[in-house]
Amino acid sequence: MASNRKLLVHGGRVLLASGVEPVDILIAEGRIAALLKDYPSPDVDDVLDATGLVVLPGAIDGHTHFIPRDLEADSSDKPDDEGFVHGGRAAAAGGITSIVEMPQAYPSTVNARTFERKRALSERDAIVDFAMWGGISPLTSSEDILGQVRSGAAGFKAYTSNGDPDMPGLSDIQIVDALSLLRSTGLMLGLHTENESLLQAYQARLRASGRTDPLAHAEARPAILEIEAVARAILLAEYCGGRLHIVHVGSPRSAELVRSAKARGVRVTAETCPQYLALNLEDLARLGPYGKCVPPLRSQEEVEALWGYLGDGTIDCIASDHCGYKKEAKEPGRSNIWNAPNGLPGVQTLLPAVITGARQRGFSWEHIARWTATNPARLWHLAPAKGSITPGADADLVLVDPEWEWTVKEADLLNAQKWSPFEGKKMKGRVRKTILRGETIYDDTHRERITVDPGYGSFLRPSVPTGG
């Protein structure tokens, strides 16, 4: 579906491997054909004026829950919260050109059959390109895992705790078995790391004491839940040599464990999310259920420390963990925090929040591109087609006005459920255009804003080097 027209992105400051440079990007057949220093260049059909804009590689969100609903397989009355059409529009508006969709679905993807069904449903609706996580529950067999590998899983998600009824936590031996089985595939085991027995105990105490306020949610999940599970997962990965990825790191103390594990050669990578970089306990108290996520928001001191672990390369990437819950689902948590589900929407605000926070702290555009594009492309084996502005790569670009200051307003959100924990937050740096495989998919100035139809996005199969 790539356009055959030759397009020149002219006049922007472009993030290349060598740094930000004033080059023009020649795009042909959906790919970056050349980086040009001299203008005018020969023979193009269109010139896109990027004067005054920073051109970054399209962002890759490694952690979304768009959860397309398979109506044939699921007759329950579970709500259709997001889906690929709305989720993809919001992603495009946020400068994201590819996502890696989590295995949750109705039904969840835990074998080749459910994986293929979800892939087909998602291909019908996709706005942005997408890879898919496979899922591992305690009932998933080795054959079910390998079936998902053959179907094109880019990584595997599992839990150490019982947060998701469809995917209960794995036992330690199941984690060892999964890491060992995946070792030869080169694919990661992405773990949601919380200690279940501590969680149950803390939660029971707080409930028994009558606490129902928002901060009780954070107190029921002190950092030790995450730290213990991260430490255990790292030790298991070190023991069996598999590739471990810690999703949504919320505590700097677990980041420190990742740092020292990396230093001694353990194959571990880590992700954090904008909510842990831009929101804190005061926001949880203010937002109530609309700030309820897992792990919970932490203190501003911990927020600042996480930025440090991004800066030194301990944390590899930033993903949204986008969950598009309906307000009706969250609202009961206003009077009693326990009555709201865990999760926040964030696909549209991911890149702006990272740009804003990173620049406030003196980080460069190179850092921003590394955390949001280059590293995710490497972790989920989407490079070299994705994640960098290099000749031969897909022409996936986001054009950002670096000086534009704006405020997050729910009315501007394109996801299905119009709310955001970032509502009212000031951002500096605005996405003006998002280009996927040479096609503009989002245009800030266009009346419709989204300029492609559902189905434009394609399934991405990981390009895993043979032998893992």
Q: Distance between CA atoms of 210 and 207, rounded to whole angstroms?
A: 5
Residue nearer to Zn ion on the CB measure, 96 or 369: 96
- Please write down the HEC assignment for all residues of the chain: CCCCCCEEEECCEEEECCEEECCEEEEECCEEEEEECCCCCCCCCEEEECCCCEEEECEEEEEEECCCECCCCCCCCCCCCCHHHHHHHHHHHCCEEEEEECCCCECCCCCHHHHHHHHHHHHHHCCCEEEEEEECCCCCCHHHHHHHHHHCCCEEEEECCCCECCECCCCHHHHHHHHHHHHCCCCCEEEECCCHHHHHHHHHHHHHCCCCCHHHHHHCCCHHHHHHHHHHHHHHHHHHCCCEEECCCCCHHHHHHHHHHHHCCCCEEEEECHHHHHCCHHHHHHHHHHHCCCCCCCCHHHHHHHHHHHHCCCCCEECCCEECCCHHHHHHHHCCHHHCCCCECCCCCHHHHHHHHHHHCCCCHHHHHHHHHHHHHHHCCCCCCCCCCCCCCECCEEEEEEEEEEECCHHHCCCCCCCCCCCCCEEEEEEEEEEECCEEEEECCCCCCECCCCCCCCECCCCCCCCC
Residue nearer to Zn ion on the CB measure, 48 or 167: 167
Q: Of 13-21, 91-99, 317-325, 440-448, which part binds Zn ion (CB under 5 A)?
A: 317-325
Size of the site for Zn ion (CB under 5 A): 1
| Site mask for Zn ion (CB under 5 A), range 264-303, x = bound | ----------------------------------------
Shortest distance (Å) from residue 150 CB to Zn ion: 24
Q: Distance between CA atoms of 85 and 68, rounded to whole angstroms?
A: 9
Residue nearer to Zn ion on the CB measure, 56 or 96: 96
Residue nearer to Zn ion on the CB measure, 302 or 321: 321
Q: Of 210-218, 237-245, 312-320, 321-329, which part binds Zn ion (CB under 5 A)?
A: 321-329
Shortest distance (Å) from residue 181 CB to Zn ion: 22
Residue nearer to Zn ion on the CB measure, 114 or 440: 114
Q: Is residue 226 at the binding interface for Zn ion, with CB under 5 A as the rule? A: no
Residue nearer to Zn ion on the CB measure, 190 or 288: 190
Shortest distance (Å) from residue 402 CB to Zn ion: 30
Residue nearer to Zn ion on the CB measure, 160 or 434: 160
| Site mask for Zn ion (CB under 5 A), range 136-165, x = bound | ------------------------------
Binds Zn ion (CB under 5 A): choice among 24, 194, 321, 396: 321
Shortest distance (Å) from residue 129 CB to Zn ion: 20
Shortest distance (Å) from residue 318 CB to Zn ion: 14
Shortest distance (Å) from residue 135 CB to Zn ion: 12
Q: Of 20-28, 46-54, 320-328, 329-337, which part binds Zn ion (CB under 5 A)?
A: 320-328
Is the Cβ–Cβ distance between 437 and 7 less than 8 Å? Answer: no
Q: Of 27-35, 77-85, 315-323, 383-391, which part binds Zn ion (CB under 5 A)?
A: 315-323
Shortest distance (Å) from residue 67 CB to Zn ion: 11
Q: Of 51-59, 158-166, 318-326, 443-451, which part binds Zn ion (CB under 5 A)?
A: 318-326
Q: Distance between CA atoms of 334 and 332, rounded to whole angstroms?
A: 5
Residue nearer to Zn ion on the CB measure, 11 or 169: 169
Q: How many CB atoms lie within 10 A of CB 370?
A: 23
Residue pointed to by tokens 């995946």: 182
Q: Which of residues 24-83 bind Zn ion (CB under 5 A)?
A: none
Shortest distance (Å) from residue 245 CB to Zn ion: 12
Residue nearer to Zn ion on the CB measure, 316 or 321: 321
Q: Which of residues 102-141 bind Zn ion (CB under 5 A)?
A: none
Shortest distance (Å) from residue 418 CB to Zn ion: 21
Task: Point out the residue whose Cβ comes nearest to Zn ion.
Answer: 321
Residue nearer to Zn ion on the CB measure, 44 or 247: 247
Residue nearer to Zn ion on the CB measure, 11 or 324: 324
Residue pointed to by tokens 């896109």: 48
Pick the closest to residue 272 from 298, 310, 237, 302 (CA basis): 310
Q: Of 109-117, 137-145, 194-202, 319-327, which part binds Zn ion (CB under 5 A)?
A: 319-327
Residues that bind Zn ion (CB under 5 A): 321
